[in-house]
Amino acid sequence: MRQSLVAGNWKMNGTRASIRALLDGVLAGIGDVKHAEVAVCPPYVYVPEVAERLAGTPVAVGAQDVSDQDQGAYTGEVSGAMLKEVGCTYVIVGHSERRNLYGEDDAFTARKFAAAQRHGLVPILCVGELLEEREQGITQQVVARQLDAVLELCGVEALARAVIAYEPVWAIGTGKTATPEQAQEVHAFIRDRVRSRDAGIADGLRILYGGSVKAANAADLFGQPDIDGGLIGGASLDAEEFLAICRAPGAS
């Protein structure tokens, strides 16, 4: 049985004050989340403060990105070792906003995945197709290419210490969620592709769905056999909404 994971990706949002209030709200209700593992991914600068606040609670901390390099003259970069030292468990790698707005390609993303694992972080590898790619009928090719870049660099064994998030780009921040069936089809495709290399790792691999998940649609999505929780953007900025997603049947 895979334990589901619900992770909030706060993206570039929040202030010290708003984040304190958000954490107070999440912690007030976390006792009612029975089964899902819960994590939040603040902007880098708030990670240490959030990690201190969440130490000893059931809520884990992740970062939203990591350098592919370990240390040195890389202005603006943040290493996996630094993230580990300040209390991160997880790190998002290859989010579509990194890929599409900042030109980060599959090979670069794979190197970030490897760097995260070198420092004991659990990467949450994001994959997903653009709207035009779905319309061209090449969703599976795109997702396979994104996944294979990591498999080739790191090997299938690396997925025993990683999470995958399927985030169709057309569903991110648009209010347009993939239907549970559309999402399930891609999740099953990802698991099968991993299974063709290692069945045990495929069965244990958590594959999250991301893209306009809300309390109102979470149960339908999380009820699918290959959906093991969610990566939540906008709705994770509201404590009540986020907790309702964490408590959704299928996650909890």
Contact residues for ligand 13P, defined by CB under 6 A: 9, 95, 167, 172-173, 210-213, 231-235
Catalytic residues: 95, 167
Closest distance to ligand 13P from the beta carbon of 97 (Å): 7
Closest distance to ligand 13P from the beta carbon of 157 (Å): 26
Q: Report how far apart, in Å, the C-alpha atoms of 172 and of each of 28, 84, 166, 233 are.
A: 28, 28, 11, 8
When CB distances to ligand 13P are compared, the closest residue is 233
> CB within 8 A of 23, min separation 6: which ones?
40, 50, 53, 54
Question: Residue 87 or residue 211: which is nearer to ligand 13P going by CB?
Answer: 211
Question: Residue 123 or residue 211: which is nearer to ligand 13P going by CB?
Answer: 211
Closest distance to ligand 13P from the beta carbon of 37 (Å): 16
Q: 123-145: buried (b, 16+ CB within 10 Å) or exposed (e) per residue?
A: bbbbbbbbeebbeeeebeebbbe
Question: Residue 81 or residue 219: which is nearer to ligand 13P going by CB?
Answer: 219
Closest distance to ligand 13P from the beta carbon of 99 (Å): 11
Closest distance to ligand 13P from the beta carbon of 200 (Å): 28
Q: Whose CA is closest to 211, among 244, 248, 180?
A: 180
Question: Residue 9 or residue 67: which is nearer to ligand 13P going by CB?
Answer: 9
Tokens of 168: 């169709």
Beta-strand pair 90-93/122-127: parallel
Question: Residue 6 or residue 19: which is nearer to ligand 13P going by CB?
Answer: 6
Whether residue 168 contacts residue 177, with contact meaning beta carbons closer than 8 Å, is answered with: no
The SS3 of residue 250 is: coil
Work out the widest C-alpha separation in the chain, in whole angstroms.
48
> CB within 8 A of 198, min separation 6: which ones?
156, 157, 159
Beta strands in 84-168 (DSSP E): 90-93, 122-127, 163-166
